[in-house]
């Protein structure tokens, strides 16, 4: 049970890192440290909510309407 909880925590933290990576990469060498922290903190709520975002994306794709079938071709005149 401990191993399962540990694995879930690791997966969660890796997901947070994946969501924050573009922000960190874009702001690492630009501006001051306070600007970096400000942008990092602004992005943190979205990063911490990545499981809900992933679930919504999966649910929306599953609920997407199917493509309509092509209209029936008219039959040949008799």
User: d(Cα 51, Cα 13) in Å, to the nearest integer?
Assistant: 11
Give the number of C-alpha atoms closer than 13 A to the C-alpha of residue 7, restricted to the C-beta side.
4
- What are the pLDDT digits (tens) for 9-39? 999 999 999 999 999 999 899 889 999 999 9
| Whole-angstrom distance, CA of residue 68 vs CA of residue 25 | 42
Residue-wise pLDDT for 34-73, tens only, equals 999 999 999 999 999 999 999 998 888 876 566 666 666 6
Looking at residue 4, its pLDDT comes to 96
What is the predicted pLDDT for the residue at 77?
65
Taking each continuous run of H as one helix and of E as one strand, the counts in the chain are 3, 0
Q: What is the pTM of this model?
A: 0.68
Q: Burial, 50: exposed, middle or buried (Cβ in 10 Å; 0-12, 13-18, 19+)?
A: middle
């Amino acid at each position: 049970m401990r191993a399962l909880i540990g694995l879930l925590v690791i997966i969660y933290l890796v997901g947070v890192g994946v969501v924050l990576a573009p922000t960190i990469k874009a702001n690492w060498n630009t501006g001051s440290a306070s600007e970096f922290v400000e942008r990092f903190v602004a992005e943190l709520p979205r990063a911490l909510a990545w499981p809900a975002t992933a679930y919504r994306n999966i649910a929306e794709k599953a609920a997407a309407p199917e493509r309509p079938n092509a209209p029936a071709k008219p039959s040949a005149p008799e």
